[in-house]
Structure 1
Amino acid sequence: MRNLEDYIESVANPRAKEWAKLLERKYRERTGKFLLEGVHLVKEALDAKWPLEAIAFDEGSGVLVQFEEYLGEMDGTSGPAWIPVSPEIIAKCSETETPQPIFAVARKRPPSAETLFAAERGLVAVLDGVQDPGNVGTIVRSAAASGATAVVLGKGTADLYNPKTIRSTMGALFHVPVLEADLRELLPEAAERGIAIVGTSLQSARSCYEYDFASRSVWLVLGNEGSGMSPQVSALAETNVIIPMSGRAESLNVAMAATVLLFEAQRQRIF
């Protein structure tokens, strides 16, 4: 295993300090890198051939047993560096109370805006100020599971590369393009290309089950948890839909609503 590097013990090590800084958004934006914590996410990234700079692991944990198939593929000329580190470094580079004994340093790989327009009948989830990282991660996961073309994160939306967002995606960010954009510029361009901009509103009278998600490209706009879509974005929607509720509940969590709508679009398009 020629990619194996020397053991790092101290949290004061320059490399370890740089990794820990990636828990802060400004350093992620400055370096174009982010952290992936835990066995599942690291495996998902390796399977997806995502660009990884390094994989740090607790040498005494035995975690490498779960990565034997990946280690056997290493030829020393490509792939991430595998670096044994102390449990203290693992804890320093994690926000979880009981961190898993492995994490990876990944490079950002943002898609181009043209990715959004490439599909003949695209289905894109557009997030307008969704602030909770768990909600953003869950919507990315639902988008990937329902076969959506992409996810767009508008201004005011939680950072995709926040560790909590990353954990909530459960690796789905490796399987669906996620793009950050100014919705006030992007949505008019989409409308000019004949794409339906569909908002979500509790005031809408139009049921999502009556709307035709199948015949053309649809961008589904999901608003802030408390206030919904911003007035500027709402004005750009061609129509709004609502999820009918026969039981007693004021509304659905935005991630739950997104899941219902994305899978309704999938049902119409496939089944």
Structure 2
Amino acid sequence: MGDDYLKLFVAETSWYNDIVLGSLLPESWWAPLPHFFRGWLRNYIGGTLLYFISGFLWCLYIYYLKKNVYVPKDAIPSNRAMLLQIYVAMKAMPWYCLLPTLSEHMIESGWTRCFSRISDVGWPLYILYIGIYLVIVEFGIYWMHRELHDIKPLYKYLHATHHIYNKQNTLSPFAGLAFHPLDGILQAVPHVVALFLVPMHFTTHIALLFIEAIWTANIHDCIHGKIWPVMGAGYHTIHHTTYRHNYGHYTIWMDWMFNTLRDPVEDEAKKL
């Protein structure tokens, strides 16, 4: 991959910096920073804004505007529980943002199989590559998450931080990023590993990394969407109560393949 082509990636990340940092901070605060640190600062500000905006809007909708429609009053988490989740997530956020920043650096350096323009491969291959990328990510996150449970020191020192939220009335969209920093990074690493295995559109990769923040908020809201084969909050709430089921991320397929799936609809039927 030639230097001229790699400059396309640098130009794109610089444009993102101009949009986020240029809109929110005086230029004298960030312009002198090296390119890598400008990227980290942009990811930190963007990730924090996305976390709070998506979390507050989702909580407002499901707990207040529509609380009697979707969630029983006794299942609404306390303000104290949500504030604790925000505290844990905010401590980890600076570290989380190192991963997309490192990812961008590797892409700009030509170490990955990323491409800059969809026209470089065409729409059919672009769609195929996204599909392969998502399968790799799903497989990687499933096994990373499962090993964080099965390897006892990893659970005790990393993943247990997230599993203090183990009941419906303690889970909220803000719990989605309430991890030990290394735990959160490990579970996102498959997004970066996939870049070395399959050609991937740069902009799409960055978008999917930040969509993670919205997705993790969604699967911690305790509302079962019943959209097959999506690994929605109904499945993930079971994970927080049994610790041994539903390790998957976007879909139920990996849990189905590796015999760790537990269906919330079947669970409800057994209670009747």
TM-score bracket for the superposition, by shorter chain length: under 0.3
| Structure showing the higher helix proportion among its residues | 2
The TM-score, its normalising length taken from structure 1, stands at: 0.27
Asked which structure has the greater CA Rg, the reply is 1
